[in-house]
A = this chain, B = another copy of it.
Protein backbone atom coordinates (compact mmCIF):
# COMPACT_ATOMS: atom_id res chain seq x y z
CA UNK A 1 0.00 0.00 0.00
CA UNK A 2 1.30 3.43 -0.90
CA UNK A 3 2.72 5.26 2.13
CA UNK A 4 2.28 8.97 2.77
CA UNK A 5 4.52 11.45 4.47
CA UNK A 6 2.93 13.10 7.48
CA UNK A 7 3.97 15.82 9.92
CA UNK A 8 2.78 17.02 13.33
CA UNK A 9 2.84 20.68 14.26
CA UNK A 10 2.93 21.19 18.02
CA UNK A 11 3.81 17.74 19.21
CA UNK A 12 4.84 18.39 22.79
CA UNK A 13 1.53 18.21 24.65
CA UNK A 14 -0.29 15.07 25.73
CA UNK A 15 -2.29 14.64 22.54
CA UNK A 16 0.76 15.52 20.45
CA UNK A 17 2.68 12.81 22.26
CA UNK A 18 -0.09 10.28 21.64
CA UNK A 19 -0.13 11.24 17.97
CA UNK A 20 3.63 10.71 17.74
CA UNK A 21 3.16 7.28 19.32
CA UNK A 22 0.46 6.25 16.87
CA UNK A 23 2.27 7.55 13.79
CA UNK A 24 5.61 6.03 14.75
CA UNK A 25 3.99 2.61 14.62
CA UNK A 26 1.64 3.26 11.71
CA UNK A 27 2.11 0.74 8.87
CA UNK A 28 1.46 3.20 6.02
CA UNK A 29 2.20 6.70 7.32
CA UNK A 30 5.76 7.95 7.48
CA UNK A 31 6.30 10.56 10.15
CA UNK A 32 8.75 12.99 8.55
CA UNK A 33 8.50 16.06 10.77
CA UNK A 34 7.44 17.06 14.26
CA UNK A 35 7.62 20.64 15.39
CA UNK A 36 7.92 22.32 18.77
CA UNK A 37 9.42 25.71 19.53
CA UNK A 38 10.41 24.44 22.95
CA UNK A 39 12.10 21.22 21.87
CA UNK A 40 13.53 22.14 18.44
CA UNK A 41 16.81 20.34 17.90
CA UNK A 42 16.07 17.43 20.22
CA UNK A 43 15.08 13.98 19.00
CA UNK A 44 11.68 12.48 19.70
CA UNK A 45 13.45 9.93 21.89
CA UNK A 46 14.98 12.68 24.00
CA UNK A 47 11.72 14.51 24.51
CA UNK A 48 9.61 11.38 24.99
CA UNK A 49 11.91 8.76 26.53
CA UNK A 50 9.15 6.18 26.39
CA UNK A 51 9.52 5.95 22.60
CA UNK A 52 13.30 5.68 22.67
CA UNK A 53 13.31 1.94 21.92
CA UNK A 54 11.87 2.70 18.49
CA UNK A 55 14.68 3.40 16.02
CA UNK A 56 12.80 6.13 14.18
CA UNK A 57 12.26 8.04 17.46
CA UNK A 58 15.99 8.20 17.93
CA UNK A 59 16.51 9.76 14.50
CA UNK A 60 13.61 12.13 14.05
CA UNK A 61 14.27 15.58 15.49
CA UNK A 62 11.88 18.27 16.54
CA UNK A 63 12.14 21.38 14.37
CA UNK A 64 10.89 24.95 14.61
CA UNK A 65 7.48 25.15 12.96
CA UNK A 66 7.85 26.50 9.41
CA UNK A 67 4.99 26.39 6.96
CA UNK A 68 7.04 26.36 3.78
CA UNK A 69 9.20 23.56 5.01
CA UNK A 70 6.24 21.53 6.28
CA UNK A 71 4.53 21.90 2.93
CA UNK A 72 7.60 20.53 1.21
CA UNK A 73 8.15 17.67 3.61
CA UNK A 74 4.69 16.28 4.16
CA UNK A 75 1.51 15.47 2.31
CA UNK A 76 -0.74 15.43 5.36
CA UNK A 77 -0.15 17.71 8.35
CA UNK A 78 -1.63 17.28 11.81
CA UNK A 79 -2.10 20.39 13.91
CA UNK A 80 -1.93 19.77 17.67
CA UNK A 81 -1.98 23.42 18.65
CA UNK A 82 -4.04 25.67 20.90
CA UNK A 83 -7.21 27.06 19.32
CA UNK A 84 -6.57 30.28 17.49
CA UNK A 85 -3.02 29.23 16.63
CA UNK A 86 -4.03 26.25 14.52
CA UNK A 87 -5.71 28.45 11.92
CA UNK A 88 -2.46 30.31 11.32
CA UNK A 89 -0.97 27.10 10.01
CA UNK A 90 -4.03 25.66 8.37
CA UNK A 91 -4.62 28.59 6.03
CA UNK A 92 -1.21 28.62 4.30
CA UNK A 93 -0.88 24.82 4.30
CA UNK A 94 -4.19 24.48 2.49
CA UNK A 95 -3.01 27.05 -0.05
CA UNK A 96 -0.01 24.82 -0.66
CA UNK A 97 -2.47 22.07 -1.46
CA UNK A 98 -1.70 20.01 1.61
CA UNK A 99 -4.28 18.07 3.59
CA UNK A 100 -4.73 19.22 7.16
CA UNK A 101 -6.08 17.31 10.16
CA UNK A 102 -6.62 19.82 12.92
CA UNK A 103 -7.01 18.65 16.52
CA UNK A 104 -7.85 22.11 17.84
CA UNK A 105 -11.30 23.67 18.05
CA UNK A 106 -10.63 26.12 15.21
CA UNK A 107 -12.60 24.46 12.44
CA UNK A 108 -15.09 22.32 14.31
CA UNK A 109 -17.95 24.82 14.07
CA UNK A 110 -19.77 25.90 10.98
CA UNK A 111 -20.78 29.19 12.52
CA UNK A 112 -18.21 31.92 13.17
CA UNK A 113 -20.75 33.65 15.42
CA UNK A 114 -21.03 30.67 17.74
CA UNK A 115 -17.25 30.42 17.74
CA UNK A 116 -17.04 34.01 18.94
CA UNK A 117 -19.71 33.43 21.57
CA UNK A 118 -17.82 30.51 23.09
CA UNK A 119 -14.17 31.40 22.42
CA UNK A 120 -14.43 35.16 23.03
CA UNK A 121 -12.62 36.32 19.91
CA UNK A 122 -13.35 36.57 16.20
CA UNK A 123 -12.76 33.44 14.20
CA UNK A 124 -9.34 33.71 12.52
CA UNK A 125 -10.40 32.18 9.19
CA UNK A 126 -14.16 32.15 8.82
CA UNK A 127 -14.02 31.41 5.07
CA UNK A 128 -12.70 27.95 5.74
CA UNK A 129 -15.49 26.88 8.07
CA UNK A 130 -17.79 25.81 5.26
CA UNK A 131 -15.28 23.47 3.69
CA UNK A 132 -13.96 21.86 6.88
CA UNK A 133 -15.32 18.43 7.69
CA UNK A 134 -16.08 17.46 11.28
CA UNK A 135 -13.80 14.45 11.69
CA UNK A 136 -16.13 12.01 13.38
CA UNK A 137 -15.75 9.02 11.06
CA UNK A 138 -18.83 7.21 12.33
CA UNK A 139 -20.91 10.13 11.03
CA UNK A 140 -18.86 11.86 8.33
CA UNK A 141 -16.86 9.03 6.80
CA UNK A 142 -17.79 9.90 3.20
CA UNK A 143 -17.05 13.60 3.59
CA UNK A 144 -13.67 12.90 5.21
CA UNK A 145 -12.56 10.86 2.21
CA UNK A 146 -12.22 13.87 -0.04
CA UNK A 147 -11.62 16.59 2.52
CA UNK A 148 -8.64 18.92 2.57
CA UNK A 149 -9.39 20.08 6.11
CA UNK A 150 -10.56 17.72 8.82
CA UNK A 151 -11.55 19.27 12.14
CA UNK A 152 -11.02 16.44 14.56
CA UNK A 153 -13.63 16.46 17.37
CA UNK A 154 -12.98 17.29 21.01
CA UNK A 155 -12.76 14.63 23.68
CA UNK A 156 -16.01 15.38 25.50
CA UNK A 157 -17.93 15.87 22.23
CA UNK A 158 -16.86 12.45 20.95
CA UNK A 159 -18.06 10.75 24.13
CA UNK A 160 -21.42 12.48 23.82
CA UNK A 161 -22.03 12.55 20.07
CA UNK A 162 -21.25 8.93 19.29
CA UNK A 163 -23.99 7.60 21.58
CA UNK A 164 -26.50 10.39 20.89
CA UNK A 165 -26.50 10.95 17.14
CA UNK A 166 -28.09 7.65 16.08
CA UNK A 167 -30.88 8.05 18.63
CA UNK A 168 -31.62 11.59 17.48
CA UNK A 169 -31.49 10.66 13.79
CA UNK A 170 -33.87 7.79 14.39
CA UNK A 171 -36.20 10.03 16.36
CA UNK A 172 -36.11 7.68 19.32
CA UNK A 173 -35.39 10.40 21.88
CA UNK A 174 -36.60 13.92 22.42
CA UNK A 175 -34.16 16.61 21.34
CA UNK A 176 -35.05 18.69 24.37
CA UNK A 177 -33.86 18.19 27.91
CA UNK A 178 -30.73 16.17 27.15
CA UNK A 179 -28.27 15.99 30.04
CA UNK A 180 -24.64 14.92 29.67
CA UNK A 181 -22.67 14.31 32.86
CA UNK A 182 -19.01 13.66 32.08
CA UNK A 183 -15.95 12.62 34.08
CA UNK A 184 -12.52 13.22 32.64
CA UNK A 185 -8.98 12.22 33.49
CA UNK A 186 -6.44 14.96 34.16
CA UNK A 187 -4.59 14.68 30.83
CA UNK A 188 -7.61 16.46 29.37
CA UNK A 189 -6.31 19.65 30.96
CA UNK A 190 -3.12 19.44 28.94
CA UNK A 191 0.52 19.56 29.98
CA UNK A 192 0.39 22.91 31.72
CA UNK A 193 2.26 23.95 34.87
CA UNK A 194 -0.77 25.10 36.87
CA UNK A 195 -1.45 24.60 40.57
CA UNK A 196 -4.89 23.14 39.87
CA UNK A 197 -3.39 20.14 38.11
CA UNK A 198 -0.62 19.30 40.58
CA UNK A 199 -0.67 15.74 41.82
CA UNK A 200 -1.67 16.73 45.37
CA UNK A 201 -4.51 18.93 44.08
CA UNK A 202 -6.05 16.19 41.90
CA UNK A 203 -5.27 12.99 43.77
CA UNK A 204 -7.98 12.03 46.30
CA UNK A 205 -10.19 14.74 44.77
CA UNK A 206 -13.23 14.93 42.50
CA UNK A 207 -14.71 18.17 41.33
CA UNK A 208 -17.02 19.66 38.73
CA UNK A 209 -15.77 22.63 36.71
CA UNK A 210 -16.84 24.90 33.87
CA UNK A 211 -20.47 24.81 35.06
CA UNK A 212 -22.73 25.59 33.28
CA UNK A 213 -21.20 26.75 29.97
CA UNK A 214 -18.17 24.76 28.81
CA UNK A 215 -16.68 25.63 25.39
CA UNK A 216 -17.20 22.14 24.05
CA UNK A 217 -20.95 22.76 24.20
CA UNK A 218 -20.70 24.74 20.97
CA UNK A 219 -19.59 21.83 18.80
CA UNK A 220 -21.73 19.32 20.69
CA UNK A 221 -24.90 21.31 20.15
CA UNK A 222 -24.11 22.14 16.53
CA UNK A 223 -23.65 18.46 15.71
CA UNK A 224 -26.69 17.37 17.71
CA UNK A 225 -28.78 20.00 15.98
CA UNK A 226 -27.70 18.67 12.60
CA UNK A 227 -28.64 15.16 13.66
CA UNK A 228 -31.98 16.20 15.09
CA UNK A 229 -32.83 18.57 12.26
CA UNK A 230 -33.70 21.21 14.84
CA UNK A 231 -31.85 23.31 17.40
CA UNK A 232 -30.64 21.30 20.36
CA UNK A 233 -29.51 22.81 23.64
CA UNK A 234 -28.10 20.44 26.23
CA UNK A 235 -26.98 20.44 29.83
CA UNK A 236 -23.35 19.45 30.18
CA UNK A 237 -21.34 19.08 33.39
CA UNK A 238 -17.69 18.07 33.21
CA UNK A 239 -15.91 16.73 36.30
CA UNK A 240 -12.22 16.16 36.93
CA UNK A 241 -11.31 12.77 38.39
CA UNK A 242 -7.92 11.39 39.46
CA UNK A 243 -6.99 9.19 36.52
CA UNK A 244 -4.51 10.01 33.77
CA UNK A 245 -6.83 9.09 30.92
CA UNK A 246 -10.41 8.30 30.21
CA UNK A 247 -13.80 9.96 29.86
CA UNK A 248 -16.98 8.43 31.20
CA UNK A 249 -20.19 10.11 30.10
CA UNK A 250 -23.66 9.40 31.47
CA UNK A 251 -26.53 10.69 29.35
CA UNK A 252 -30.04 11.25 30.69
CA UNK A 253 -32.58 11.09 27.87
CA UNK A 254 -36.32 11.14 27.34
CA UNK A 255 -37.62 8.55 24.87
CA UNK A 256 -39.72 10.18 22.14
CA UNK A 257 -42.55 7.81 22.93
CA UNK A 258 -43.56 7.25 26.50
CA UNK A 259 -43.53 3.63 27.68
CA UNK A 260 -45.82 2.62 30.46
CA UNK A 261 -46.06 -1.14 30.36
CA UNK A 262 -43.97 -4.22 29.65
CA UNK A 263 -45.03 -4.42 26.03
CA UNK A 264 -44.02 -0.85 25.29
CA UNK A 265 -40.78 -1.38 27.15
CA UNK A 266 -40.12 -4.46 25.04
CA UNK A 267 -40.83 -2.58 21.82
CA UNK A 268 -38.64 0.36 22.70
CA UNK A 269 -35.85 -1.97 23.80
CA UNK A 270 -35.99 -3.56 20.39
CA UNK A 271 -35.96 -0.22 18.62
CA UNK A 272 -32.93 1.09 20.50
CA UNK A 273 -31.07 -2.17 20.03
CA UNK A 274 -31.79 -2.05 16.31
CA UNK A 275 -30.90 1.63 16.05
CA UNK A 276 -27.47 1.12 17.61
CA UNK A 277 -26.95 -2.10 15.70
CA UNK A 278 -27.66 -0.38 12.41
CA UNK A 279 -25.49 2.57 13.26
CA UNK A 280 -22.55 0.79 14.82
CA UNK A 281 -22.88 -2.94 14.31
CA UNK A 282 -20.03 -2.85 11.83
CA UNK A 283 -18.03 0.02 13.24
CA UNK A 284 -14.55 -1.12 14.26
CA UNK A 285 -14.24 1.43 17.07
CA UNK A 286 -17.68 1.45 18.66
CA UNK A 287 -18.33 -1.32 21.14
CA UNK A 288 -21.96 -1.95 22.00
CA UNK A 289 -21.99 -3.74 25.34
CA UNK A 290 -24.45 -6.48 26.05
CA UNK A 291 -27.09 -5.86 28.70
CA UNK A 292 -25.01 -7.32 31.51
CA UNK A 293 -22.11 -4.91 31.20
CA UNK A 294 -21.53 -1.24 31.83
CA UNK A 295 -18.70 0.87 30.40
CA UNK A 296 -15.43 1.16 32.30
CA UNK A 297 -12.68 3.49 31.18
CA UNK A 298 -10.03 0.90 31.98
CA UNK A 299 -11.38 -1.24 29.13
CA UNK A 300 -10.82 1.49 26.53
CA UNK A 301 -7.70 3.29 27.74
CA UNK A 302 -4.97 2.93 25.14
CA UNK A 303 -7.46 2.01 22.41
CA UNK A 304 -9.50 3.95 19.85
CA UNK A 305 -12.74 2.40 21.10
CA UNK A 306 -15.89 4.02 22.50
CA UNK A 307 -17.88 1.66 24.70
CA UNK A 308 -21.63 2.21 24.90
CA UNK A 309 -24.26 0.69 27.18
CA UNK A 310 -27.82 1.79 27.89
CA UNK A 311 -30.71 1.05 30.22
CA UNK A 312 -34.38 1.95 30.11
CA UNK A 313 -35.68 2.83 33.55
CA UNK A 314 -39.32 1.81 33.93
CA UNK A 315 -39.52 3.76 37.21
CA UNK A 316 -38.72 7.12 35.59
CA UNK A 317 -39.44 6.51 31.93
CA UNK A 318 -35.93 7.61 31.04
CA UNK A 319 -33.23 6.19 28.83
CA UNK A 320 -29.77 6.21 30.41
CA UNK A 321 -26.87 5.89 27.98
CA UNK A 322 -23.28 5.56 29.20
CA UNK A 323 -20.09 5.79 27.16
CA UNK A 324 -16.38 5.39 27.88
CA UNK A 325 -13.38 6.39 25.78
CA UNK A 326 -9.72 7.32 26.09
CA UNK A 327 -9.72 11.11 25.85
CA UNK A 328 -6.29 11.10 24.16
CA UNK A 329 -7.08 8.34 21.65
CA UNK A 330 -10.68 8.21 20.42
CA UNK A 331 -11.11 11.64 22.02
CA UNK A 332 -8.14 13.14 20.16
CA UNK A 333 -5.21 11.52 18.42
CA UNK A 334 -6.58 8.08 17.61
CA UNK A 335 -9.61 9.59 15.98
CA UNK A 336 -7.34 11.93 13.99
CA UNK A 337 -5.41 8.90 12.73
CA UNK A 338 -8.70 7.20 11.89
CA UNK A 339 -9.46 10.22 9.69
CA UNK A 340 -5.99 9.96 8.18
CA UNK A 341 -6.67 6.35 7.25
CA UNK A 342 -9.93 7.35 5.58
CA UNK A 343 -8.34 10.30 3.77
CA UNK A 344 -5.57 8.11 2.39
CA UNK A 345 -7.72 5.16 1.42
CA UNK A 346 -6.01 2.86 3.91
CA UNK A 347 -7.85 0.33 6.04
CA UNK A 348 -9.59 2.42 8.66
CA UNK A 349 -8.07 0.39 11.48
CA UNK A 350 -4.48 0.70 10.22
CA UNK A 351 -2.18 1.47 13.12
CA UNK A 352 -5.08 1.50 15.53
CA UNK A 353 -5.73 -2.18 16.32
Chain A positions 310 through 330: 1 when the CB is less than 8 Å from some CB of chain B, otherwise 0: 010101101010101000000
Within 8 A of B (CB), among A20-53: 25, 49-50, 52-53
Q: How far is the CB of A145 from chain B (nearest CB, A)?
A: 22
Number of A residues whose C-beta is below 8 Å from B?
A: 74
On whether the beta carbons of B186 and A246 are closer than 8 Å, the reply is no
Q: Which of A183-200 contact B (CB under 8 A)?
A: 183, 186-187, 191-195, 197-200
The digit string for A288-311, where 1 denotes a CB below 8 A from any CB of B, is: 010001111111111111010001
Quick check: is A278 within 8 A (CB to CB) of the other chain? no
Q: How far is the CB of A29 from chain B (nearest CB, A)?
A: 16
Bits for A222-260, please: 1 = Cβ < 8 Å to B, else 0: 000000000001110101011111101010100000000
A189 to chain B, nearest CB (A): 9
- A250–B298 touching, CB < 8 Å: no
Bound-complex Cα distance A254 to B20 (A) = 41
Measured CB to CB, the closest approach of chain B to A73, in angstroms, equals 24
Closest chain B residue, CB of each to CB of A184: B206
**Complex CA–CA separation, A318 to B322 (angstroms):** 21
Contact in complex: B299, A49 (CB < 8 Å): yes
Determine the distance from Cα of A300 to Cα of B48 in the docked complex, in whole angstroms. 11
Residues of B within 8 A of A322 (CB): 208, 211
B212 and A316 within 8 A (CB): yes
Nearest neighbor of A248 in chain B, beta-carbon distance: B206
A62 and B213 alpha carbons, distance in the complex (Å): 33
Given contacts A237-B250, A242-B243, A311-B211, whether A183 and B202 have CB atoms under 8 Å apart is: no
Main secondary structure of the interface of A (DSSP, over half): loop
CB <8 Å contact, B296 and A205: yes
Contact between chains at A208 and B250 (CB < 8 Å): yes
CA distance A303 to B24 in the complex (A): 14
**Which of B212, B242, B303 is in CB contact (< 8 Å) with A199?**
B242
Q: Does A209 contact B (CB under 8 A)?
A: yes
| Chain B residues closer than 8 Å to A202, beta-carbon distance | 199
Taken together as a complex, chains A and B put the C-alpha atoms of A137 and B341 apart, in Å, by 36
Query: Which residues of the partner chain B approach A3 to less than 8 Å between Cβ atoms?
Result: none
- A353 contacts partner chain B, Cβ-Cβ < 8 Å: yes
A53-B305, A186-B200 provided; 19 other pairs, C-beta below 8 A? A49-B307, A50-B299, A50-B300, A52-B299, A53-B285, A181-B181, A181-B250, A197-B198, A199-B201, A200-B244, A201-B298, A203-B203, A204-B245, A207-B297, A208-B248, A212-B313, A233-B315, A241-B241, A242-B242
| Residue positions of A touching B, CB distance < 8 A | 14, 25, 49-50, 52-54, 179, 181, 183, 186-187, 191-195, 197-209, 211-213, 233-235, 237, 239, 241-246, 248, 250, 252, 284-285, 287, 289, 293-305, 307, 311, 313, 315-316, 318, 320, 322, 324, 353
25 sample A-B contacts, Cβ–Cβ < 8 Å, listed by A number? A49-B296, A52-B287, A53-B285, A53-B304, A181-B181, A181-B250, A183-B239, A191-B198, A192-B198, A197-B198, A199-B201, A203-B244, A204-B244, A204-B246, A205-B243, A205-B297, A207-B296, A208-B250, A208-B294, A208-B295, A211-B294, A233-B315, A234-B316, A237-B250, A242-B243
Q: Which 10 A-B pairs have the closest CB atoms?
A: A205-B298, A212-B313, A207-B296, A199-B202, A186-B199, A50-B299, A49-B299, A181-B181, A206-B248, A193-B193
